[in-house]
Structure 1
Amino acid sequence: MNVILLTHEREVERLTNTGALALRAYPQWCRRIIWSRVRTDKALLQILHQPGAAVLYPAVTIEAPVDGKSGDTQSIEPQLSASYLTELPETLVIIDATWQEARKMLRQSPYLQQANKFALPEVNTSQFKLRRNQVDGGLCTLECIIRLCSLKGLCAEAEYLEQAFVSMNDTHRQ
């Protein structure tokens, strides 16, 4: 399994960035690429053109707060022109950002819209409580990676990341 965190520049410095836990724990299969609207990473483009690669993105429409206002929601319906894979690909690109930033990244990146997608089956309710305006049915980056580890049969890795996630969630909770 290879995981590429396509990280929004603002996400890198956030203390609540859960993807950083996976990067520190498993650098042999998890790496980060900083997303840029104006400079597309050429290596990422090559990876996304491979048949064993996909962008992790929900297959169903979910509701998200508009402009950070919890009362107003809009559907996340990305303009996706690629198909969803039914089997777990070897390489997954995870958009590592807030949901609002992730929508922007997808909207402004045609290569992400056109890439194959993979959606997690049977998504549980997120346990991530460190940010406001979370999307109903959406998971944080580390919860996605934990689920991917479980699907891949990497149970020890999933358990380790789960413990790190619980610790982070408890430590930073206000």
Structure 2
Amino acid sequence: MLDETGQADLAEHDSTTGLGQGPAPGLFHDPATGHPRPPRREFKARGSFTERCPGCNLPVLNCLCPYQASTESEARVWLITHPLEHLKPTNTGRLIRDVLPDTEVFTWYRTAPDERLLALLEDPRFAPFVIFPDDQPDYAGRVVGMDAVGEVKASGRTPVFILLDGTWRQARRIFRKSPYLDRLPVLPLATSRLTRYQLRKPASQAHLCTAEVAAELLRQSGDTTAAQVLDDYFDAFNVSYAASRRYEKIEQPTPAMRRLLAYRDDDR
């Protein structure tokens, strides 16, 4: 999310090659929707040549598929994702969609906002909140607390947590350069939790990654089961990927992995 620095995963860009070659040379297709977009330079994440599981995209040494579990929540999560985040195997936003199938993912382009996102923002069934720090005075009047989420639920509408999925700089750009977000309430995440994310170096231990933010929001808003499943799934991803980087095979499931296996068995 807006706290993942991502610097360790960036490789050099090839300035001569279009990203995601499609039917026409240089044509870029949105990783989330498949729609054509303006061409970009090719991006390759560190570890792009690692043999990966086609199901979970983790190194096959520690495949995550046995631990994938899905659940439901009262609140929804919508991700506005920077284009480069789709291509980073360390991105945790995709874990949210694995656990919560109703999650929506939109790719951010400054000059070409996603039409489906714009339509959903107008849908009266939903009450969206932009998750962003309350550290600037120019939008202080839009800042709300978690009690506003409870009020939305009481009114019969579905609260939506909009997460800006990218590095801090990318997230701030999305927030500042997306006029369709200007009228939405801003909900800062208030928590004392520290990040457990091992795959990118955060600017601060207080900066949670995207999946951690979503889990904490769900927990605080009352979706405790969904929060626990997502938190455990993130933990399984985090540990599995970190072990694979060290070329270590996880022989025994962690406590989070065992809880996920139990949840899957109970859900059948």
What interval of TM-score do these two structures reach, taking the shorter chain for normalisation? 0.7 to 0.9
Distance 2:94 2:239 in 1: 16
Deviation at 1:127, TM superposition (A): 1.6
Equivalence for 2:144: 85
- Alpha carbons 1:2, 1:91 under 8 Å: kept: yes
Distance 1:45 1:117 in 2: 17
- Whether 1:20 and 2:94 are equivalent positions in the alignment is yes
Equivalence for 1:164: 233
Q: Is the partner of 1:95 in helix, strand or coil?
A: strand
- Alpha carbons 1:5, 1:19 under 8 Å: kept: yes
Equivalent residue pairs, number:
157
Distance 1:57 1:160 in 2: 24
> Bigger shift: 14-23 or 96-105?
96-105
Matches within 5 A, 1:43-62: 43-48=116-121, 52-59=127-134, 61=135
Deviation at 1:133, TM superposition (A): 4.4
Deviation at 1:79, TM superposition (A): 5.2
Question: AA paired with 2:171?
Answer: A
Residue 105 of structure 2: which of 3, 26, 32 is its match?
Answer: 32
Max Rg structure: 2
Q: Which runs of 5+ in 2 are unaligned?
A: 1-74, 153-158, 246-268
- Name the TM-score, length of structure 1 as normaliser: 0.77
Residue 142 of structure 1: which of 171, 193, 211 is its match?
Answer: 211
Q: Percent identical across equivalent pairs?
A: 27
Deviation at 1:4, TM superposition (A): 0.4
Equivalence for 2:57: none
Please report the RMSD computed on the Cα atoms of aligned residues, expressed in angstroms: 2.4
Question: AA paired with 1:80?
Answer: Y
Deviation at 1:35, TM superposition (A): 0.8
Q: 1:42 to 1:140 in 2, by over 3 A?
A: same
- Whether 1:126 and 2:195 are equivalent positions in the alignment is yes
Deviation at 1:95, TM superposition (A): 0.4
* Higher share in strand: 1
- Alpha carbons 1:82, 1:114 under 8 Å: kept: no
Structure 1 residues 71-118: Cα deviation after superposition (integer angstroms, max 9, x where no partner): xxxxxx485375012222511211011112112222322333443211
Distance 1:117 1:36 in 2: 21
State the 4+ residue runs in structure 1 displaced beyond 6 angstroms: none
Residue 95 of structure 1: which of 149, 154, 164 is its match?
Answer: 164
